[in-house]
């Protein structure tokens, strides 16, 4: 079934938009529907690209509010890892769905996940109908036995759902230089290269990580990852807060992509991403929420606002982090980094979009709707979410919302 969005506001003007075979087929002042078209009255609503959340740990939605106000390493070792030890596939499935419910309601159509139990995550993604990059987590805590087990698990992951289902992109990940041995980093880097896969890494998140890496390996995490062959145009570095000029040169030389996670960096007092400097150096930057335990929201609205504000403080310049640039980081840049042919409302592109209510006070007055999205809005403005031309949410409600919450409640009982 094709879809026509009637009387929708695009770039502050009214138009009709036809969606056919999952793509924006026609954008025109007036499109006459045929009997095959499902017509949606979008009067009073504006259309925008949906968000691409480029770094999260979705199932951690079940750990929201656990171990707040702590330093990264003690938070992980005392609060998060002991609870995660109780997570199994059913719990991760329920947690991933809970996260997707929150993401869909806040306009996110895609998330890049770094977590365990990939089959359960893929099942959850397929059921809700969002898009995701699902990675197997490279993590061995320098234990040779775990290294061997992980190498076997990566092989199994490559064979799992091969090719990956429609909405899913399989990726590889390296948790960090402080949790993964050099042999495993090299193995994952080579596997990503051989299979042309994206490689997702937490890197240079804290000052301590950089100092420890320099003590241990004589160079920064970025230089160390380059030495082990893990940096290339398919590499995506999350956080990347503590970068010096040499690191930035390495990132540019290898065309590495970056993902900023401002809420998580602020909450853990990790530091501020150099948004202005890295944008001016022409690095391609995406935006991510990180997991619910370190944010604690999965709303890209919150991330955009913090991204813009912290860009100004970090550069000591109110012209840094302009609204159009920050909105692009949350939308078209994210799609580009993940190789998804979407991110703009443009004929020919995949129809990933949201319809937002213009009569919501957060969107009024409409002097600059992008500015309203970045600085004023929250998830309450998102009325409809469309992913690959299919409606995921209408009237700010998903069909199986009650069931998702019920499953999450059952899962919670098993981790306490
Ligand atoms: Zn993370």
Distance 61 CA to ligand 1 centre (A): 13
pLDDT at 264: 95
Cα 227 to averaged position of ligand 1 atoms, centre (Å): 23
In the predicted structure, residue 122 carries a pLDDT above the cut 90: yes
120 belongs to a structural domain: yes
Contact 204, 178 (CB under 8 A): no
Q: Are residues 308 and 372 in the same domain?
A: no
Same domain, 189 and 157: yes
The more confidently predicted of residues 161 and 46 is 46
On the question of pLDDT at 45 being above 80, the answer is yes
pLDDT at position 320 over 80 = yes
Q: State whether 115 and 41 are in the same domain.
A: no
Q: What is the pLDDT of residue 198?
A: 98
Query: Separation of 211 CA from ligand 1 center, angstroms?
Result: 19
Q: Which helix (H) or strand (E) holds 303?
A: helix 300-315
Q: Are residues 34 and 20 in the same domain?
A: yes
Label residue 307 by pLDDT band (50, 70, 90). Answer: very high
Q: Are 274 and 394 members of one domain?
A: no
User: pLDDT by residue (tens digit) across 56-65?
Assistant: 999 999 999 9
Sheet hosting strand 108-114, strand order edge to edge: 51-56, 108-114, 131-138, 168-174, 199-203, 235-239, 257-260, 285-287
312: pLDDT strictly greater than 90? yes
Residues 115 and 249 in one domain: yes
Q: Which residues in 234-255 are b (16+ Cβ under 10 Å) and which e? A: bbbbbbbbbbeeebbebbeebe
What's the pLDDT tens digit per position in 165-223?
889 999 999 999 999 999 999 999 999 999 999 999 999 999 999 999 999 999 999 99
- The reported pLDDT for the residue numbered 405 is 97
pLDDT tops 80 at residue 47: yes
386: confidence class by pLDDT, cuts 50, 70, 90: very high
Nearest to 258 by CA among 287, 299, 231: 287
Domain assignment of residue 408, yes or no: no
Residue 160 belongs to some domain of the structure: yes
Grade residue 416 by pLDDT with cuts at 50, 70 and 90. Answer: confident
Same-domain status, 232 and 368: no
Does any domain span residue 14?
yes
Shared domain for 57 and 30, answered yes or no, is: no
pLDDT of residue 164: 80
What pLDDT does residue 160 have? 85
Cα 302 from Cα 205, distance rounded (Å)? 20
Distance 238 CA to ligand 1 centre (A): 7
pLDDT greater than 90 at residue 225? yes
The CA 27 to ligand 1 mean position distance, Å, reads 38
pLDDT tens profile 71-109: 878 888 898 888 899 999 999 999 999 999 999 999 999
Question: According to the model, what pLDDT value does residue 70 have?
Answer: 86
113 assigned to some structural domain:
yes
On whether residue 23 sits in a domain, the answer given is yes
Q: For residue 370, what is the domain's CATH number? A: 2.30.40.10
Residue 201 Cα to ligand 1 middle (Å): 9
Residues 20 and 135 in one domain: no
Q: How far is the CA of 202 from the centre of ligand 1 (A)?
A: 6
CA 216 to ligand 1 center in whole angstroms: 23
CATH number of the domain bearing residue 306: 3.20.20.140
Is residue 305's pLDDT more than 90?
Answer: yes
Q: Does residue 411 form part of some domain? A: no
Taking the centre of ligand 1 as the mean of its atom positions, its distance from the CA of residue 57, in whole angstroms, is 6
Q: Which domain holds residue 312?
A: 51-337
The answer to whether residue 24 is domain-embedded is yes
Q: Taking a C-beta distance cutoff of 8 angstroms, is the pair 175, 202 a contact?
A: yes
97 and 135 assigned to the same domain: yes
Query: In whole numbers, what is the pLDDT of the chain averaged over residues?
Result: 96
Q: What is the total count of domains within the chain?
A: 2
pLDDT at residue 294 in the model: 86
38 in the same domain as 146: no
Centroid of ligand 1 to alpha carbon of 23 (angstroms):
31
Residues 36, 117: one domain?
no
């Amino acid at each position: 079934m094709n879809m026509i969005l009637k009387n929708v506001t695009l770039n502050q003007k009214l138009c009709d938009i036809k969606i056919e075979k999952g793509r924006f087929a026609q954008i025109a002042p007036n499109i006459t529907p045929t009997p095959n078209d499902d017509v949606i009255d979008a009067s009073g609503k504006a259309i925008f690209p949906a968000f691409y959340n480029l770094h999260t740990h979705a199932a951690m939605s079940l750990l929201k509010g656990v171990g707040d106000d702590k330093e990264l390493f003690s938070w992980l070792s005392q609060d998060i890892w002991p609870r995660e030890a109780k997570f199994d596939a059913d719990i991760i499935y329920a947690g991933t769905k809970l996260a997707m419910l929150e993401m869909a309601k806040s306009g996110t159509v895609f998330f890049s996940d770094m977590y365990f139990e990939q089959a359960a995550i893929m099942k959850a993604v397929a059921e809700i109908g969002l898009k995701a990059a699902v990675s197997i987590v490279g993590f061995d805590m320098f234990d040779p036995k775990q290294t061997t087990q992980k190498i076997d698990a990566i092989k199994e992951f490559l064979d799992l759902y091969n090719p990956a289902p429609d909405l899913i992109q399989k990726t590889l990940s390296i948790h960090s230089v402080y949790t993964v041995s050099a042999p495993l980093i090299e193995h994952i880097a080579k596997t990503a290269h051989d299979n042309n896969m994206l490689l997702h890494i937490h890197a240079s998140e804290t000052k301590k990580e950089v100092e420890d890496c320099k003590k241990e390996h004589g160079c920064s995490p970025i230089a160390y990852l380059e030495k082990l062959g893990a940096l290339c145009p398919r590499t995506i570095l999350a956080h990347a807060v503590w970068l010096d000029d040499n690191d930035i040169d390495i990132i540019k030389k290898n065309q590495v992509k970056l993902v900023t996670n401002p809420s998580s960096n602020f909450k853990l007092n990790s530091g501020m991403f150099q948004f202005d400097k890295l944008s001016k150096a022409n690095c391609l930057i995406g935006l991510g929420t990180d997991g619910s335990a370190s944010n604690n929201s999965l709303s890209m609205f919150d991330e955009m606002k913090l991204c813009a504000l912290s860009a100004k403080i970090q550069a000591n310049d109110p012209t840094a982090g302009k609204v159009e640039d920050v909105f692009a980081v949350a939308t078209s840049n994210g799609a580009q980094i993940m190789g998804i042919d979407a991110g703009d409302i443009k004929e020919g592109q995949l129809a990933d979009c949201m319809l937002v209510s213009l009569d919501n006070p957060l969107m009024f007055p409409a002097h600059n709707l992008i500015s309203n999205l970045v600085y004023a809005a929250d998830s309450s403005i998102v009325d409809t979410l469309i992913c690959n031309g299919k409606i995921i949410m209408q009237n700010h409600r998903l069909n199986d919302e009650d069931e998702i919450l019920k499953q999450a409640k059952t899962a919670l009982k098993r981790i306490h």
